Amino acid sequence: MFTASMAAPFPAFQMPEPERITPIHSASAAADAGDESSDQESVRLMLRVKEGDVKAFEKLVELHQNAIIGTCARMLNNLDDAHDIAQEVFVRVWRSAPRYEPTAKFTTWLFTIMRNLVFNESRRRSRRKEVSIEQENEDDLPKHFADHSVPGADENLAKAEFHDALDRAIAALPEKQRIAVILRGRQDLPYEEICTILKMSLPAVKSLLFRARNELRNHLATFLGESIE
């Protein structure tokens, strides 16, 4: 059983700067093979954790903490909250270890734990009627200033502004659309795995992503001053 005295299994979380999200992504066959190998390694480690192996747990956290923190950060648009949720995800992994059975991909199981915690946090925020994401993080948003003396500065500024607009558009999506876009576009998860995590059918997930991508295109078209046919 996990106790406060067993805090040692948790390495210090280094909060990563979330990478940009590409809403539409297709994984290669080589990547799929790598994912399968990675999942086998994660299951092997988790079975060792089930036996109380602290070192295996540390390795498991090291392998998956960036993906969990990055996804939480995109869902909540707050790095501190993402850190807290990610920590709780791995606490639950440790506590659940004695009952763990490899009946699904490890990442499916892990992201399902994360989904529950993130959705609970989102609902807590909703009940508290917190300020909007844009207002809450206004002071944290990067301020972009073009240096016209540097070649390509204007282009880099435009790209940075576009990515900021994309991040804001994703943050404005409804909860399930947002997590589906992140899991598919950033984490490269296959549709079937997203179905399991969200407890939705394949047609429902594809419909969810279709609506989300249309909404993103509309947001970005407004930002770029273009029209969507």
CATH of the domain at 121: 1.10.1740.10
Indicate the range of 40-44, 67-71, 147-151 predicted with least confidence.
147-151
Do 35 and 108 sit in the same domain of this protein? yes
Domain hosting residue 45, numbered range:
28-129
pLDDT 10s digits, 98-148: 999 999 899 999 999 999 999 998 888 776 654 544 454 444 444 433 344
Other Cβ atoms closer than 10 A to 217: 14
- The pLDDT mean for the chain works out to 77
Q: What is the rounded distance in angstroms from the CA atom of residue 143 to the CA atom of residue 228?
A: 28
Torsion of CA 216, 27, 198, 217, to 10 degrees: 10
Q: What is the rounded distance in angstroms from the CA atom of residue 86 to the CA atom of residue 84?
A: 5
201: CATH: 1.10.10.10
> Following DSSP, what letter does each residue of 69-106 receive, concatenated?
HHHHHHHHS-HHHHHHHHHHHHHHHHHHGGG---SS-H
Do 32 and 125 sit in the same domain of this protein? yes
Per the structure, how many domains does the chain have? Answer: 2
Do 174 and 120 sit in the same domain of this protein? no
Contact 162, 220 (CB under 8 A): yes
Do 113 and 36 sit in the same domain of this protein? yes
Q: Let me know if residue 15 belongs to a domain.
A: no
Do 161 and 119 sit in the same domain of this protein? no
Give the pLDDT of residue 144: 39
Do 63 and 118 sit in the same domain of this protein? yes
Do 158 and 100 sit in the same domain of this protein? no
Indicate the range of 93-97, 123-127, 204-208 predicted with least confidence.
123-127
Q: Let me know if residue 17 belongs to a domain.
A: no
